[in-house]
Structure 1
């Protein structure tokens, strides 16, 4: 079923999914009964086997909660910018049950190419039935991964887009465990990025998976296991520290591993790593053709293994959905609804004002006496809950602060007395009795602000002076989606201050563009569609010997106008010597991008080289438009060739 069935985007995606072969039985529109696309429309959710949440971000949490209450086994939420605290509430509900599994929010969806079942908005022209299971945080990176495996003749079995949200309903580890039981999957492509610990959890799962695969044959008689090869990629090696790289969850918080740490952990677990999604097909094909230890299990079953299973409490059940494995259809192009947002960061004096208003908090400047300790309120992404973050010392670079520990607490009840005593012990406070009481008051005030103002990370430095806790530094970040999509926190939004270096990005935001000027000596301006692909473009250019001047994500659905506006923003940076346009036409049309590039070149009177790499939907049409434009534009379909040319030109 589709919740929000009669909406424009849901109608477009449902029409294409039905034509492709997905068994959509109907939809939901509150307070309305009738027909749409020849299928029934109901006022409330009944009990389908799966539901797609297509309502707006401000109503998404209510729709998810309705589906949980109806006992729908699989809930897929595609909406981006669902307020963080709405999702915290949803996860607190999910932990009380064992029937429903949530995928998303901010997910491109899931798709069984073998079963002709799509729940989401993935670009169907990329897909072909086959052997590769794909697990990914990023939409655009997954589309290029899919296209790469299609070109290699491997095709796809089941693709799970866990999404780039701060708190995904299904994480990378859980998605891998689903593919472990899928009889159609012979190998796995794993696509991660910065933010959270999901890739570390996945690496630990893979190590355990490999160890079980090496058990003696008699030990596997009860549960035979295929040792499937896994190839991985992690985007964001060259992230801008302290910035959100397009996706809501694409930032590295204090105590979280960076991209290099995640890559090392996956390599240690036996994952073959690549640095660009176009390489997945060739690498996977070479591994499978080697065939030394990988065999295919044919159980004769037809099911999307494990997706229709309960979630957080791990009391899973499976469900056969062979009826989804139906006939072939033409695969049309689809459109997207994604748009980008930033977060609200307050200057320190405003943070201190909030603390004073909360009461019972001693805060002010650091006198130079006492050890500075880290105390923060944030999100434990693995536990999908709020948490206290603490360390007995601080570092100039917060991400390098040693001995960081997280203390998750219940969304509804807050931190309990025992947790605060453990936090005090970890902080190594001197006078335990009075210090713990003082710490309890400080934490209570911080947590109150966290919930009342819908923060996602509140970092402070505290000192312990004679058994009293004093806050001597504060940096608070709040969820912009609460204001932009739900109209909440208007007063807080007015306090935000845009730094001069961030002004181009703030202006571009109105066009749905995320722009971040990267520090250093980068001279290659990058223009990319999709946050994951934009991060990976910066990384892959660095691997090739180049250096990007910026991160720019036009959004999953770039248009000619957004391309022109992107050029305008990029060219404000006087360092830029060449513009590198890297577009994968999944949801985006290659010919539309080409027209945007040509329009920008003509209207902005560009006097620097432009290298355009277009792959995917309408790639030939786009490349032809560039070639026949009569303008000094260079068109490629291969990423490495295009990157090499951009680096050559910026050095000339």
Structure 2
């Protein structure tokens, strides 16, 4: 199919844009153009350079959360110039309220927008901000359906005015510029010299607290967020931080899922080669112990076919000179040593990528050798996998030939999924399914969301050539790819995997299928009810289902796990499990109570954990941002009283109102230990689990 080529004189028109926003297509491209054909989304990176000059608009300004957040940001020094409430014009917090983003842009001239529109209105608010070319938009909302965010990225990639931070993230903050767009806990930030880029909110707060305690402070905190597709990735944030005169060291917080960490490693390697005295990099990567096929709290925290594991990411980062530690508490003192070494090195050119960083870190405790989790378990819950028979029925109903029994020919692999680097859907193809070889030979073919590119003659030819399919097989491949791409879009899938063979007649037959769908589409907007109805709750782990009802994510680990974990935040929960294993502990579970855990949430978490007879001690690890330390402590005390707990509990509380929370625990007179340090708390929990210490 021939692409629609727009002339350079093409100007944005609101009516076609709204039609595209509603129906998903605009010819064969999104309805955007730039002044020159060479400009792209990459040209918006400098929009991340926020500061005192940044004029901030709030979308959803008068809502309760937005009001509280805006007032905090104003008190911090953020130049909030007003906000938007559809159809309303007036005043709020002493600032103007405009009836539309267009009116606000014309009158207030904002440089950035913080989006606090509730529910599924977030996506429409993002679209309106892009339509009106606001230079920076920050979306903090969780659970945005993945196809909605793919549509946003299709819009972003065809323009050069607007940059996105988020979604599902704390936002962006500049300490030197006293500017915050998001909900970062301000008391922990200190003007300093370390830039932090993170997928995980709670782990980024830990990194902030660690660098503040070390006397370093921060320059920028830039969030990637935990979704499958990030508006701003590590490499884009690095480009701002290495140019920033105040930033002397850089911390990146990554996790299982996607390849952003690998692209970061490639970029760091080239940066270290070209710079005389490069800025040092440190990192924490979560999810080493994440079981296969599970989403670990964050929507993007799962590894697609052919992606590197968390352990592999760590090794790759270490190979390019990044100092990787196993807990964010170590980042502050570690970075202090690296910066001292950089000062001594001065302008001397390092002989190999990152060698000066490693020399500066030799006196610190190195991270233990990482070992990957091999535990198998049932499927994850943040998205919905259907049974193999149901997936094959979907294909059969669409006229795809299904093999009645296994055939002797070599299997090939074809899937529709999401290319996180390209920020687009893609076809993934491999001429073999053999372990090892499939990873090496797998290739991604991205295509534009809402376009016909997946079915184009060029695409079919490229995929067929990679698979080694010709003749009649190419025609049946075209049929399969057409049906898979239609199914992917119409039913809001996130991955459609098939195993295919070419029969004796040269035609394709499918003999295996694994289909995953985005459950957020149903939860947020009640879309795809027919697919959601295929969920078989009776086949799921009961504790998973109970946790889900309480707004938590719970993963029960196989084996003899003896330490039950309760943690607020997916990244922190992954890191807690990893760090316990590295210190000789045996976690029984992963539990993410969410970033807004309450006393009732904590009580529900205890109820689930004590139902597991393997658990000998419960380790509660809380870093309070929005979560208050004393509120969590009260939840723990309430659980002891109401559940009559007999299992020992070790509590580590850091963050907001940490002292008050620790005091409540220490003075309770119950079988509770309260700690500030993760190392001390982890050692205590492990010792109790192993029976070498008691709570007496």
What's the TM-score, normalizing by structure 1? 0.89
Aligned-partner SS, 2:441: coil
The residue matched to 2:645 in structure 1 has which SS?
A: coil
Aligned ranges 1:446-525 → 2 under 5 Å: 446-465=484-503, 466-498=505-537, 500-525=539-564
- Counterpart selection for 1:591 from 615, 626, 630: 630
Q: Normalising by the residue count of structure 2, what TM-score does the alignment of the two structures yield? A: 0.83
Alpha-carbon deviations, 1:408-428, whole Å to 9, x = none? 112122312222222222223
1:171–1:294 CA distance, 2 compared to 1 (3 A): farther
Kept after mapping to 2: 8 A contact 1:341/1:481:
no
Give 1:343 deviation, angstroms.
Answer: 1.1
Distance 2:412 2:646 in 1: 52
Q: Does the C-alpha gap of structure 1 residues 406 and 57 become closer, same or farther in structure 2, counting only changes over 3 Å?
A: farther
Q: Give, in whole Å, the separation in 2 of the partners of 1:596 and 1:203.
A: 41
- Compute the displacement of 1:501 (Å): 4.8
Aligned partners of 1:109 and 1:341: how far apart in 2? 26
1:267-315 deviation digits (Å, cap 9, x = unpaired): 11111111111111010111112322358xxxxxxxxxxxxxxxxxxxx
Partner in structure 1 of residue 382 of structure 2? 342
CA distance in 2, matches of 1:556, 1:451: 31
Distance in 1 between the 2:173 and 2:538 partners?
42
- SS of residue paired to 1:292: helix
Segments of structure 1 that go 5 or more residues without pairing to the other structure are 215-225, 296-339
Consecutive unaligned residues in structure 2, runs of 5 or more: 1-56, 348-379, 692-696
Q: The residue matched to 1:169 in structure 2 has which SS?
A: coil
* Structure 1: distance between partners of 2:440 and 2:468: 14
**Greater relative contact order (Cα 8 A, min sep 6): structure 1 or 2?**
1
CA separation of 1:83 and 1:48: change in aligned 2, threshold 3 A = same
Q: Distance in 1 between matches of 2:62 and 2:452?
A: 38
Distance 1:573 1:457, change over 3 A: same
Separation (CA, whole Å) in 1 of partners of 2:565 and 2:298: 17
Corresponding residue number in structure 1 for 2:25: none
SS at the partner of 1:260? Answer: helix
Alignment of 1:283 with 2:334, yes or no, is yes
Q: How does 1:163-562 map to 2 (within 5 A)?
A: 163-214=225-276, 227-290=278-341, 291-293=343-345, 342-357=382-397, 359-395=398-434, 401-411=439-449, 412-415=451-454, 416-429=456-469, 432-465=470-503, 466-498=505-537, 500-562=539-601
Q: Distance in 2 between matches of 1:531 and 1:399?
A: 32
**Could you list the per-position Cα deviations for residues 188-216 of structure 1 after superposition, in whole angstroms to 9, with x for gaps in the alignment?**
111001111000000011011111103xx
> How many residues end up aligned between the 2 structures?
593
Deviation (angstroms), 1:399: 11
Change (3 A) 1:355 1:152: same
Alpha carbons 1:136, 1:161 under 8 Å: kept? yes
Separation in 2 of the partners of 1:37 and 1:491?
45
Aligned residue among 78, 81, 104 for 1:22 = 78
SS in 2 for 1:72: coil
User: Contact 2:190–2:217 (CA<8 Å) still a contact in 1?
Assistant: yes
Q: How does 1:104-119 map to 2 (within 5 A)?
A: 104-119=166-181
Q: For 2:183, which of 121, 124, 134 is the aligned residue?
A: 121
RMSD over aligned CA atoms reads 1.6
Closer/same/farther in 2, CA of residues 499 and 523 from structure 1, 3 Å limit = farther
Counterpart of 1:314 in structure 2 is none
SS for the counterpart of 1:362 is: coil
Distance (whole Å) between structure 2 residues aligned to residue 448 and residue 266 of structure 1: 38
CA distance in 2, matches of 1:590, 1:364: 57
Aligned-residue offset at 1:353? 2.0
Q: CA deviation at 1:71?
A: 1.1
Indicate if the aligned counterparts of 1:590 and 1:616 stay in contact, CA closer than 8 A: yes
Distance 1:195 1:55 in 2: 28
* Distance verdict in 2 for CA 1:243–1:130, change over 3 Å: same
Q: Distance in 2 between matches of 1:250 and 1:486?
A: 22
Aligned with residue 58 of structure 1, among 120, 136, 142: 120
Instruction: State how far apart, in whole Å, the 2-side matches of 1:538 and 1:427 are.
Output: 40
Match of 1:309 in 2: none
1:574 is paired with a residue whose SS is coil
Instruction: Check conservation: 2:453, 2:459, Cα contact below 8 A.
Output: no
1:5 aligns with 2:5: no
Q: Is the 8 A contact 1:394 1:402 kept in 2?
A: no
**Please, which of 91, 108, 121 is the counterpart of residue 35 of structure 1?**
91
Which of 638, 643, 664 pairs up with 1:625? 664
